[in-house]
């Protein structure tokens, strides 16, 4: 996702509060490997600036005037190959925001009460092409899908999902199950008795065959399509 080797990670800041954007810029611009390439105070502007500047990562607030951050995320990630990763940043620790953000195509979700170090690490993770779900958020994803009668917990596998899943080898299917459990590459390697480089290759193939951006989307896909069920 990040461009040439050694090039800084290009970041767009989208938040309706000027002081918040300024704070983020101050935190990020002291990092040698991060460059802030633009700012936006609403979702519509975020989409426009993202398409003009082609950042690697967009820091996206949820509640903004006009077009909110969720719709902006949907439009930015819907631009296809080369679209930036979106990291949702919010003061609201709400499940409806979490799941709406993930379904909109966000690659990560952090609360604004995190530390500068956590923010920097999150940007670096997303720029590498990985998704970011903190363990507590993964648990919330699983617990929500576990709630009977909850629309988010009902698997609706369509023909496209079925066809994509048939393309997976048995080993790739096993990797998808472990991804859905929130396992890291190192943990998958131990479980499957493989090297981490081999696991990384399998993960990449799973994502490519299913048309997913990152492992965050793999978690959502697996539960929404009944590949795994909570408790299994």
- Check residues 50 and 161 and name the one with the higher pLDDT: 50
Which run of H or E residues covers position 109? Answer: strand 108-111
Rg of the chain (C-alpha set) = 18
pLDDT tens digits, one per residue of 146-170: 554 444 444 445 568 888 899 999 9
Backbone angles phi, psi at 88, to 5 degrees: -80, 130
pTM: 0.73
Q: What is the mean pLDDT of residues 31-59?
A: 96
The answer to whether 111 and 90 are in contact (CB under 8 A) is yes
Lowest mean pLDDT among 9-18, 64-73, 136-145, 175-184: 136-145
Which run of H or E residues covers position 108? Answer: strand 108-111
Q: What is the pLDDT of residue 151?
A: 45
Return the DSSP state at 184: -
Query: Per the structure block, which two tokens stand in for 29?
Result: 């611009």
First to last CA, the chain: 33
Rounded Cα distance between 36 and 82, Å, is 18
Helix (H, G, I), strand (E, B) or coil at 151: helix
The runs of H, that is alpha helices, within 105-169 are 116-127, 135-146, 159-166
pLDDT tens digits, one per residue of 164-223: 899 999 999 999 999 887 788 888 999 999 998 999 999 999 999 998 877 777 887 887
DSSP 65-88: SSS-HHHHHHHHHTT-TTPPEEEE
The answer to whether 59 and 13 are in contact (CB under 8 A) is yes
pLDDT tens digits, one per residue of 99-150: 788 778 888 888 888 899 989 999 998 888 776 665 566 666 656 655 544 4
């Amino acid at each position: 996702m990040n461009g040439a080797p050694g090039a800084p990670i290009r970041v767009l800041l989208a938040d309706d509060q000027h002081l918040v954007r300024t704070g983020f810029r101050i935190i990020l611009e002291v990092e040698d490997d991060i460059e802030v390439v633009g700012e936006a105070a609403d979702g519509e502007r975020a989409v426009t600036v993202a398409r003009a500047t082609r950042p690697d990562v967009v820091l996206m607030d949820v509640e903004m005037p006009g077009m909110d951050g969720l719709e902006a995320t949907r439009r930015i990630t819907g631009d296809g190959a080369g679209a930036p990763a979106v990291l949702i940043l919010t003061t609201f620790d709400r499940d409806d925001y979490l799941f709406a953000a993930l379904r909109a195509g966000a690659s990560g979700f952090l609360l604004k009460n995190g530390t500068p170090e956590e923010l920097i690490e999150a940007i670096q993770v997303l720029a590498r092409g990985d998704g970011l779900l903190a363990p507590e958020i993964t648990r919330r994803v699983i617990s929500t899908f576990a709630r009977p009668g909850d629309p988010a917990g009902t698997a609706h596998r369509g023909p496209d999902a079925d066809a994509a899943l048939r393309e997976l080898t048995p080993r790739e299917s096993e990797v998808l199950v472990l991804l859905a459990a929130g396992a890291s590459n190192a943990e998958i390697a131990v479980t499957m008795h493989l090297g981490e480089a081999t696991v990384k290759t399998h993960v990449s193939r799973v994502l490519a065959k299913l048309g997913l951006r990152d492992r965050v989307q793999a978690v959502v896909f697996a539960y929404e399509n009944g590949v795994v069920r909570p408790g299994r």
